[in-house]
Structure 1
Amino acid sequence: MPNPTFDWHSPADVVAPLLLGAVLRHGPVAIRITEVEAYLGEADPASHAAKGPTPRCRTMFGPPGHLYVYASYGIHRAGNVVCSPAGTASAVLLRSGEVVDGYDATRTRRGPTCPDAGLARGPGNLGKALGLDLHLDGATIALAAPGEVASGSTTTCLPAPSGDGAPTAFVLSLPGSPVPYQTGPRVGITKNAEAPLRFWIPGDPTVSRRR
């Protein structure tokens, strides 16, 4: 059974550690999440939503259970799981993961020389491995039914929390129980930089190295 404490409507710093060890699938590729960062909306100076709704971050203010995709440095595509009630703008950045299915498709996207552990290490690389692009901003993330792994079209999915009937583009399979994790400062930001809102699976080779 998935962790019963998981609730899309919880704030990002509660949802973030519960996503560790979960498997997110998009098409042929599935990635086990090993590192995330929480962003707490208008209360968090580092969040895209710190100054309120803008065209770029409007998905963060929408209902939970959707993917917020944005362009990083103009070239990378980073994915975030939107959580908390609509209007709160809370989201979890997917920082790193392990490719557990769709290896050939991932290699095509990431090239032949990248080490296996680095295929989805870092938000931009994870986004490329998973095939993220801006047209997927706002896509629904469906939860796999209890006991199922996100294996593609045959997976039974629970209703999206928003009930908006949007097409399911991503399927999330939660671990049966929370995995051990560590916390620390987020990476690559200057505002609210020391807040311990990065969560990762200790010792996992896919986790990014903080400079």
Structure 2
Amino acid sequence: MTLTAEQLAQLRAVAERANTPGSLTSYSKATALMEFDALITPDITLALLDELEAAQELIELQRFKIERQAEDLHQAKSLESIHRDKRFEVEREFISYKDNAERNTNRLAKEVCRLEDELAAAEKRIAELEARTVTVKLPAHKYRECVNGLLEEAIAYAGTQQLRERISSRLANFVQPDHPHTRCDASINLTVEG
């Protein structure tokens, strides 16, 4: 049985009169108690107890919900803290990688400039070597020996792949290049005087 708002208001009024006899004007204390006893029946008592139990269950349910929300909030704050820490860690790593990349870029740029300077110097040296004329003075008998040896090699190896190597080998008996790694090729002007 559920009590209506009217029944609850009537019950409250009777209970207040029975509980506060000094303020009674038309009722005596006995009359107020009798009216209260007449109004409180086992059905009313059970209904009040049911409503009390329902209210207590509702309070427990609300308490449980609040505790769950508090736990969820705590977990959310923990996750937010973890996320914030991870974000800061990633930002620090990114800044470190960026700084390293900038240092490497600067170092590589300097290295490229150095290599370009070396390449330009090497190209200049090659141009100087290609432009110069080397004059080798041989005694007349050595000059004849060189020419005759070259002629023999040209006749013996004409039309073969070995001709160039044989001529170079024969010429090396009479003339040495400036540097052991420098080969005498068509780009250096060679004049032999005899």
Q: Into which bin does the TM-score normalised by the smaller protein fall?
A: under 0.3
Please give the TM-score of this superposition, normalised by the length of structure 1.
Answer: 0.15
Name the one with the larger strand percent. Answer: 1
The structure with higher relative contact order (CA 8 Å, sep 6+) is: 1
Q: Which has the larger radius of gyration?
A: 2
In terms of fraction of residues, the more helix-rich structure is 2
